Amino acid sequence: MRRYEELHQELIKKVEPKIRKSINSIPEKYREDVKQDLMEKIIKSADNVKYEDVPGFYDFIKEEQKKKLNVQDVSKGDREEE
């Protein structure tokens, strides 16, 4: 649980400047409430992400290369049929 709290704090640090800038157009008496609502929604959204499903860097590169080769093979096959 401690790790999630650290991730939440890091996330808040990164998005807070953008949120502050964005809520300037809202009447001042609502800003704090809107800011808290946005932070809550951002954290809940981040919690829903399944990080286990994210491939490592090299696995991602290999998969992208395979996809690129498959697209090229399909394109090449289309040209040969013409």
Q: What is the 3-state secondary structure (H, E, C) of the chain?
A: CHHHHHHHHHHHHHHHHHHHHHHHHCCHHHHHHHHHHHHHHHHHHHHHCCHHHCCCHHHHHHHHHHHHHHHHHHHHHHHHHC
pTM of the predicted structure, to 2 decimals: 0.54
pLDDT for the residue numbered 74 = 61
Please write the tens of the pLDDT for every residue from 48-62.
776 666 778 899 899
Q: What's the rounded mean pLDDT across residues 63-79?
A: 73
pLDDT, tens digit (0-9, with 9 covering 90-100), for 23-50? 999 999 999 999 999 999 988 888 877 6
Res 75: pLDDT: 61
Radius of gyration of the chain (CA): 22
Q: Taking a C-beta distance cutoff of 8 angstroms, is the pair 19, 39 a contact?
A: yes
